[in-house]
Structure 1
Amino acid sequence: MAVYRSRHALSGHALTGPFLNGPLTPDRIAAVELPRTRLGRRGYEPDAVHALLERLAHELQHRARQLDLVRDENRRVKHALRTWQSERFEAAERVGFRSGARHSVQLPCN
Structure 2
Amino acid sequence: MSAVYPRLTSADIRTARFGRSWRRGLDPEEVYAFLLRVADEMELLRRDVRVARDDADRVKAALRNWQTRNTRISDGRWRGGRR
What range describes the TM-score normalised by the shorter chain of this pair? Answer: 0.5 to 0.7
**Code of the aligned partner of 1:101:** G
Is 1:65 equivalent to 2:65 in the alignment? no
1:100 match: 80
User: Cα RMSD between the aligned structures?
Assistant: 2.4
SS where residue 44 of structure 1 aligns? coil
Unaligned runs of 5+ in 2: 1-13, 16-21
- Choose 1 or 2 for highest CA Rg: 1
In 2, Cα distance between equivalents of 1:48 and 1:64? 24
More relative contact order in 1 or in 2 (CA 8 Å, sep 6+)? Answer: 2
Percent identity for Structure 1 against Structure 2: 38
Relative to the length of structure 1, the TM-score reads: 0.50
Relative to the length of structure 2, the TM-score reads: 0.65
Runs of 4+ in 1 over 4 A off after TM superposition: none
**Code of the aligned partner of 2:38:** L
- Between Structure 1 and Structure 2, how many residues are aligned? 64
Unaligned runs of 5+ in 1: 3-39, 104-110
In 2, Cα distance between equivalents of 1:87 and 1:46? 61
